[in-house]
Amino acid sequence: MSAADILRLDRVSVSFDGFKALNELSLALAAGEMRAVIGPNGAGKTTMMDVITGKTKPDAGRVLFAAQVDLTRLDEPAIAGLGIGRKFQRPTVFEPLTVHDNLLLALGGDRSPRFALWARESAAERERIDELLHTTRLVAERGRRAAELSHGQKQWLEIGMLLAQDPKLLLIDEPVAGMSDAETAATADLLGEINRSRSVIVVEHDMAFVRSLGVTVTVLHEGAVLAEGSIEEIQADPRVVEVYLGR
């Protein structure tokens, strides 16, 4: 584990009513790296995301961001402010607001009620939103309410909102669940583009999609790391085959 790690989980444990969701999980992500995390249901993937983003406080262990900040002491807005964005499993966008306004609220900047009360949209904000609409292929949908978008478009809008935050690290939970093949391929491209300037952790079930990412894969099992390596190494690992791929 080097000082260049953007994220380091150090023997993190979480239990819910005696059930150990994370069991001394240790994991390191280098700055600029994209990592795929896979594992059977209940392996602790979502709990890991919850711990990193401050939704769940671990019973033990540390989560170091950029080798300095212990995230376990902070709450969600503070962690988001450090530059960690999270995409939920189900697309979560603000349905009554327009695509434009969804992105506007996500843009970096002052989050205080007082600022929001007087805020006027600046030319710079407008320009940044134009860019994001391009990246997420939603230019034509700018004025539509998010509720009217297709499932895939909502996923992209949410990714666009994460990009608008300009995070250093992105956590993405099952980005292609429920997507068509074409949308899945486009999403893989989009993640590759995002990864050029940011670190990314992707949790995914879709093995074809994970292979198309071509990155290091971490397999979680019963709240700890079972194996780590390229997708080929992982698929050849008999322990992995037994708990996950073999079923």
**Where do contacts with another protein occur on this chain (CB under 8 A)?**
53, 55, 75-77, 80-81, 85-86, 88, 92-98, 101, 104-106, 111-113, 116-119, 143-145, 147-148, 161, 165
Least distance to another protein, CB of residue 222, Å: 26
CA-only gyration radius of the chain, Å: 18
Least distance to another protein, CB of residue 127, Å: 17
Distance, in Å, from the CA atom of 67 to the CA atom of 4, rounded to the nearest integer, reads: 8
Contacts with 90 (C-beta within 8 Å, 6 or more apart), sequence order: none
Distance, in Å, from the CA atom of 121 to the CA atom of 230, rounded to the nearest integer, reads: 45
Q: What is the DSSP track for 80-145? A: HHHTEEEE-SS----TTSBHHHHHHHHSSS---HHHHHH----HHHHHHHHHHHHHTT-GGGTTSB
Q: What is the DSSP track for 220-247? A: EETTEEEEEE-HHHHHH-HHHIIIIIT-
Least distance to another protein, CB of residue 188, Å: 23
36 with 172: CB under 8 angstroms? no
Residue whose CB is less far from another protein, 13 or 88: 88
Least distance to another protein, CB of residue 9, Å: 18
Residue whose CB is less far from another protein, 86 or 221: 86
Least distance to another protein, CB of residue 33, Å: 21
Least distance to another protein, CB of residue 105, Å: 6
> Which of the 8 DSSP states describes residue 147?
G
